[in-house]
Chains A and B, each alone.
Chain A
Amino acid sequence: MKYDSLIIGSGPCAFNIAEELLKTNMNMMLVCKDQDDASFKARVAGYPDSTQLKILQDAEVMACSGQVGRYNVILRNGQKTISQVVKTIIVAEKDDYQPNFASYQLKPNQQVLSFSAMQACMPENGDEQWPVNEDVKHILFLNGIASESVAHMLEDMMRLCLRLQSSGNIQTYIFTRNLKVAGNGIESLYHQTKDAGTLFIKFTTTSPEIVQTQTGDVQVSYQDEITGQLFQLQPDLTVVDETIKPNDTLTSLGATLGLKQDSNGFLQTDNVHRLSVLTNRKGIFTMGPSRSIMSSGAQRLEARNAAAAVVKLLNEDLNRDEDNKAAIDTSVCVKCLTCLRLCPYKAIELNPQPIVTPEACEGCSICVAECPALAIQMMGMTVADMMDRFQSEIQDAASESFEPQLACFCCSRSAARAKELAETLSFNLPAGLRIAEVPCAGAISLNHILSTLRQNVDAIIVLTCHPDNCHSEVGQQMVNHRIARIQQLLPQIGLDPERLMIRSLASNMGAEFAHILAEQANIIRKIGPNPIKGSH
């Protein structure tokens, strides 16, 4: 049996997406690492095994091969090992809340709790009062003092303070730096909480001095920054905020699935092209706390994004646009595996020769540019194709004065659109400008550059997406390395390195496109015509 989707995760998010996809006629396997946790058990109990949903407990993904539509996943399930083919994969692991005790030099005890522990003590029913012992009169919440907090944690904290204040004999305090109210209803809630008597103390340049005595009591001294007055506070209970970290299984899971992580360790790079649940691999999605820090409400709603992503993908014709896919000529390939290593989309498989999976190929042409044996082709990307594009736009050199001929490589996602915008908004562009649009700047090879220098051009401009905005993640970096290498070599063949310029742009930077081109045209006007032009 081939499942439509494999869902990985033990938390609420994994069950939310299963729930959402159960509405469709898809079938799924849900792989959960947990087995003993009570809330997990309760969740599993809600889903009897059916043909549509199979839940594996005490299970994890050990290996994954194949591609979109036919991922072959090796799973450990208890003592057993299972092999399963699935069309798509959804990573929906829960997040990890780590109390910031150490940042405040506090040790947890009966008077010092993490915020999660405090929430767990509260009765489920919102109307009931906290069964606190009568001695607890002052409760201090530390939020975002040691590191920046997030809006949903403040929101939950204020809701809790409201309940505690309503008991009538508890005074709550929230100590914070930046009060994170960026969320629907949070500013209103802040006013409501303040009106209910919670004291908010904000710190900017100073910090509260927090001391935990031998007996475990907490003593706080602080300065009110507005009046300058000094205060002492001895809370009966101190509640410490938490840092939200990615689940610690994500690193190995990412490596197994070939997914790129962001700098925090979440399984989605911080790249606008991945909105909302996309990864660098087609058919593998990442949602909720597996891709970013988010509130439980936002996590719940993301089940819709993930369900939509799966449904749209399974209805998509993955073989359309077949002309714009790379292909490896096996008779030329020397199996160096450069392509396998570099493909940002992991679209190259070993079978046993390296081959491109067309369904997964995004047509960035990075492999074409990097293949040392020149064994990979993509339509329109040969050196001859590229030179044709420059040739076809050659201007008549009728004018008397020297007008630099500028060959400009533009990424189709950014600079080529910026050029259109510059034209639309009537910016002046140099007369000698010629454009070659490429699917990704990472497609521009050493050969493209060197061959262009021998055309009837005076300078080359390579325009990429901004770092971290490259659809193929590394294309922009790779072409920067290539250009830096060529710039070092240019003086050796008697060329000014300024004849080769690389810049990054976005699709909406029409003005900047015009500025960059004007600047380069001016530089070339000063240094004169390319001495080797037309030497091919």
Chain B
Amino acid sequence: MDNSKKNVTIIGGGVAGLTTAIELSQYSFQVDVIEKSPFLGGHGIQYACKATDRCVKCGACVVEEKLKTAAALSSIRLHTESQIEKITQSKTYSVSLLKRPAFINPTKCTNCGICFQRCPADAINRGFSTGNQPLFAISKNKCLYFKDGSCTLCASKCPEDAITLTAAETTESFNSDAIVLATGFQPYNPEKKPYGYHRFVNVITNLELEQMLRRHSVAQRPSDGQAPGKIAFIQCVGSRDAKLNHLWCSKVCCGSALRMARLIRSRQPEIEISFFYIDVQSFGKNFEAFYREAQNEIEMIRSIPADIYPAEDDSLRAIYYDSSTRQSHEPIFDLVILSIGMLPNPDNSQHTEMFGLKSDPFGFWSYESSSALTNGKGVFTVGAANGPMSIAETVIQAEQTAWQVYNDLVIESNNAP
């Protein structure tokens, strides 16, 4: 099959976009993946493996593998720090990209990390995976050079001469036969919830715990780096919340939190874990057995804390109503994990308008309706932008979306009279 003259543009370089790109390249399409952040792999690339004595199918390693595969394929062009400036449609789509300045030259950078270590303003971000090339990116907001021109330390210390702080924005244009929107999700910001996020240092989100476990293997209190004695997981923070009009379940947090809780228990068995929930959602093929074992290791509390107060030594007092005793309790925890909801990407509304897509009342695209688009051919949606979903579900949907693209661009045109 030779579709190499056909191009597909994918907006979003997370697991949905990368998997769709790999699948499309298997039908011989040329693919451009547009990622606005400096690092490919989306949220998933920051996640930790949650295997205990065996794989628990969290899918984090799949993201790693997809990124590596996509980066190695010559038919896929990966654009980081890029965004769509304009898309116009005549017979095909004409795509204009705006690429932020490449301060670090990816062909010169050897990932030595000197810039990262030496930066006085903490303005250099590091990627998460071997597949993030270059591994470092300069954050313009924090960089002193862009503030007042006072510092060029990274550029002068770089042994490869790979850093050019005066690099300019570039643009690029190409034609594309189809557009795939893989814009992912936006994590809920829990600052407004009464849990003291960003006020109490030992209250973190499940995404931050993922990063902590990936980086350090174990749970630590951010306040002192010590192992916590007691951890609370609070589920549904920003999901299933009628007051916020977030009338959806984020679907993956029960699985992610229980897997992380069991991982922590397997590595730090002295830690006690309480799990505050509304309903435990099923995940994985072996859910019943997993859940049974989890209940033996973790204190499951069917209640959502109303409030969190600071207690001695940076620990936290959670107040909840226990329906079994019909009383309020105020246990103390050393670390509180908020399982924050998955929100539609704020960019979605712009695409919804631009491409005439259908979305649900909350701003997620509906996959079923997107696969039978009414606005003409060539625009597809995939992944968590269609609603919260796991890594495994995203991979499955990416295969389906790539098949739909192949179907529209190749099969139907072959079958046309």
Give chain A's interface residues, CB within 8 Å of chain B.
23-24, 147-151, 178-188, 191, 202, 204-205, 225-226, 228, 262-264, 266, 270-272, 275-276, 292-293, 297, 301-302, 304-305, 307-309, 311-312, 315, 413-414, 417, 420-421, 424-426, 465-469, 504, 506-509, 511-512, 515
Cross-chain contact A312 with B284 (CB below 8 angstroms)? no
Overall SS of chain A's interface: loop
Considering the complex, give the chain B residue whose CB is closest to the CB of A226. B323
Contact, CB under 8 Å: B326 / A228: yes
Closest Cβ of chain A: how far from B393's Cβ, in Å? 9
Do residues B399 and A308 form an inter-chain contact, with CB atoms below 8 A? yes
Shortest Cβ gap from A480 to chain B (Å): 12
Q: How far is the CA of A536 from the CA of B249 in the complex (A)?
A: 63
Q: Which of B53-61, B96-104, B164-172, B328-336 contacts A (4 or more CB under 8 A)?
A: B53-61
9 pairs, A vs B, C-beta closer than 8 Å: A181-B249, A184-B364, A315-B1, A420-B130, A467-B53, A468-B55, A469-B61, A508-B60, A509-B49
Set of chain B residues within 8 Å of A302, measured between Cβ atoms = 396, 400
- Indicate the member of A184, A228, A264 with the most B CB atoms within 10 Å: A184
- Excluding A148-B291, A182-B282, A469-B61, 15 further A-B contacts by CB distance (< 8 Å) are A23-B415, A178-B279, A180-B279, A184-B366, A191-B247, A226-B323, A275-B392, A315-B26, A420-B130, A424-B111, A466-B49, A506-B49, A506-B60, A508-B47, A512-B217
Q: Do A305 and B403 have beta carbons less than 8 Å apart?
A: yes
Interface of chain B residues 39 through 82 with chain A (CB within 8 A) = 47-49, 51, 53-55, 57, 59-65, 68
Within 8 A of A (CB), among B276-294: 278-289, 291
B59 surroundings in chain A (CB, below 8 A):
272
- Residues from chain A with a CB closer than 8 A to the CB of B130 are 417, 420-421, 424
User: Knowing A179-B279, A275-B396, A308-B23 touch, does A225 contact B286 (C-beta < 8 A)?
Assistant: no
Contact (Cβ within 8 A) A469 B395: no
Sorted nearest first, the 6 A-B pairs with minimum C-beta distance are A469-B55, A182-B281, A506-B49, A467-B54, A308-B403, A304-B400
Per a CB cutoff under 8 Å, which of A205, A308, A507 touches B64? A507
Give the residues in chain B near A301, CB-CB below 8 Å: 368, 397, 400
Contact (A508, B129) CB under 8 Å given A264-B285, A308-B403, A424-B135: yes
* Set B47, B240, B287: member contacting A148, Cβ < 8 A: B287
Is the Cβ of A506 less than 8 Å from the Cβ of B400? no
B221 at the interface (CB under 8 A from A): no
Query: Which residues of B sit under 8 angstroms from A425, Cβ to Cβ?
Result: 126
Contact across chains for A150 and B49 when beta carbons are under 8 A apart? no
Q: Are A276 and B395 in contact (CB under 8 A)?
A: yes
In the complex, A263 Cα to B288 Cα: how many Å?
12
Cα-based distance from A263 to B54 in the complex (angstroms): 14
Beyond A270-B57, A507-B64, is A182–B399 a contact (Cβ under 8 Å)?
no
Mask: chain B, 377-417; 1 = CB below 8 Å from A; 0 = not: 00000000011000010011101101110110001100100
Q: Contact at B402–A308, with CB atoms within 8 Å?
A: yes
The answer, yes or no, to whether B242 is at the interface (CB within 8 Å) is yes
CA of A188 to CA of B113, assembled, Å: 48
Contact A151 B51 (CB under 8 A): no
B61 adjacent to A187 (CB under 8 Å)? no
Are B288 and A147 in touch, CB under 8 angstroms? yes
Query: B324 and A205: CB pair below 8 A?
Result: yes
In the complex, how many angstroms separate the beta carbon of A306 from the nearest chain B beta carbon? Answer: 9
A151 adjacent to B281 (CB under 8 Å): yes
Q: How far is the CA of A307 from the CA of B26 in the complex (A)?
A: 14
A469 to B61, CA, bound (A): 10
Which residue of chain A has the shortest Cβ distance to B289 in the bound complex?
A: A263
The interface residues of chain B lying within 8 Å CB-to-CB of A466 are 49, 51, 54-55
Task: Decide if A312 touches B26 in the complex (CB within 8 Å).
Answer: yes
A50–chain B nearest beta-carbon distance, Å = 15
CB-based contact B214/A508 at 8 Å: yes
Residue B200 at the A interface, CB < 8 A?
no
Residues of A within 8 A of B254 (CB): 182
Please state if B68 and A182 are interface contacts (CB–CB under 8 Å). no
Of B57, B242, B366, most A-chain CB atoms within 10 Å: B57
B216 is an interface residue with CB less than 8 A from chain A? yes
Whole-angstrom distance between the alpha carbons of A262 and B284 in the complex? 12
A228 to B63, CA, bound (A): 47
CA distance A202 to B324 in the complex (A): 13
- How many Å from the CB of B207 to the closest CB on chain A? 15
**If A424-B130, A508-B64 touch, does A181 touch B55 (CB 8 Å cutoff)?**
no
B360 interfacial contact with A, CB 8 Å: yes
**What is the distance, in angstroms, from B109's C-beta to the closest C-beta of chain A?**
12
Q: Do A182 and B287 have beta carbons less than 8 Å apart?
A: no
Q: How far is the CB of A204 from chain B (nearest CB, A)?
A: 5
Known: A148-B287, A276-B399. A506 touches B281 (CB 8 A): no
Q: Determine whether the beta carbon of A24 is less than 8 Å from that of B411.
A: yes
Contact of A204 among B62, B323, B364 (CB under 8 A): B323
Which B residues are CB-close (under 8 A) to A508?
47-49, 60-61, 63-64, 129, 214
B248 within 8 A of A: yes
The residues of A that contact B289 with a CB separation of less than 8 Å are 263
Whether B247 pairs with A304 at a CB distance below 8 angstroms is no
| Residues of the B chain whose Cβ atoms lie less than 8 Å from the Cβ of A226 | 323
What residues of chain B lie closer than 8 Å to A264, measured between beta carbons? Answer: 285-286
**B248 near A297 (CB under 8 angstroms)?**
no
Q: State which of A315, A413, A511 has its C-beta within 8 Å of the C-beta of B217.
A: A511
Q: How far is the CA of A507 from the CA of B407 in the complex (A)?
A: 34
Pair A307/B54 contact, Cβ less than 8 Å:
no
Identity of the chain A residue whose Cβ is nearest the Cβ of B250 in the assembled complex: A182
Interface: B36 (CB within 8 A): no
| Closest beta carbon of chain B to A162's beta carbon, Å | 16
Q: Judge whether B317 is part of the interface by a CB distance below 8 angstroms.
A: no
Determine whether the beta carbon of A151 is less than 8 Å from that of B285: no
Q: B65, A507: Cβ atoms under 8 Å? A: yes
Q: With contacts A305-B396, A414-B61 known, is A270 near B286, CB below 8 A?
A: yes
Which chain B residues lie closer than 8 Å to A309 at the CB level?
Answer: 399
Task: Select which of A205, A262, A515 is within 8 A of B285 by beta carbon.
Answer: A262
Cα distance A315–B26 in the bound complex, in angstroms? 9
Q: Are A504 and B281 in contact (CB under 8 A)?
A: no
- Chain B residue with the shortest CB-CB distance to A224: B323
Neighbouring A residues of B27 by C-beta, 8 Å: 311-312, 315
Q: Which residue of B lies closest to A228 (CB)?
A: B326
B358 — which chain A residues lie within 8 A by C-beta?
none
Interface residues in B2-59 by Cβ distance below 8 A to A read 23, 26-27, 47-49, 51, 53-55, 57, 59
- Chain A residues near B282 (CB-CB < 8 A): 148-151, 178, 180, 182
Instruction: Please give the distance in Å from A344's CB to the nearest CB on chain B.
Output: 16
* Residue B230 lies at the interface, judged by CB distance under 8 Å to chain A: no
Complex-state Cα separation, A462 to B274, whole angstroms: 36
Taking the closest CB of chain A, its distance from the CB of B72, in whole angstroms, is: 13
**Residues A272 and B392 in contact in the complex (CB < 8 Å), given A414-B61, A467-B53, A515-B217:** yes
Question: What residues on A are CB-neighbors of B411 within 8 Å?
Answer: 23-24
Q: Which residue of B lies closest to A414 (CB)?
A: B61
Among B195-234, those with CB < 8 Å from A are 214-217
Q: Closest B residue to A514 by CB, please name it.
A: B217
Residues in B whose Cβ lies below 8 Å from that of A424: 111, 129-130, 135
